[in-house]
Homo-oligomer: A and B are copies of this chain.
Amino acid sequence: MKYNVQIKVMPLKDLLDPQGKAVMGSLQNLGLQGVQDVRIGKHITLQIDANTESEARNVAEDAAKKLLANPVMEFYEIEMVN
């Protein structure tokens, strides 16, 4: 069965995010009011063929740990979409 897995990879909360800071500056220059913080990460969609949902989740965990996220600078969250 095919599972659609969403992985969000974001910079750790304690780290500066220069890309986010730059975007926040641009939003203010565009005149958008009220934006107080911007953080930018990656969003990865995997389509995984597996027998069970937990098997698909394990593959996604492996992918995130081994390749997609750098634990020194980033954390990840995995979400299964039916």
Identical subunits present:
2
Residue A78 is within 8 A (CB to CB) of chain B in the complex: no
A56-81 vs B, CB cutoff 8 Å, 1 = contact: the mask equals 10010011001110000000000000
Interface residues of A, count at CB 8 A: 36
A36 close to chain B: CB less than 8 A? yes
Q: How far is the CB of A58 from chain B (nearest CB, A)?
A: 10
CB neighbours (8 Å) of A63 from chain B are 27, 30, 32, 35
Q: Which residues of B contact A35 (CB under 8 A)?
A: 46-49, 59, 63
Binding site for B on A (CB under 8 A): 2, 8-10, 20, 23, 26-27, 30, 32-50, 55-56, 59, 62-63, 66-68
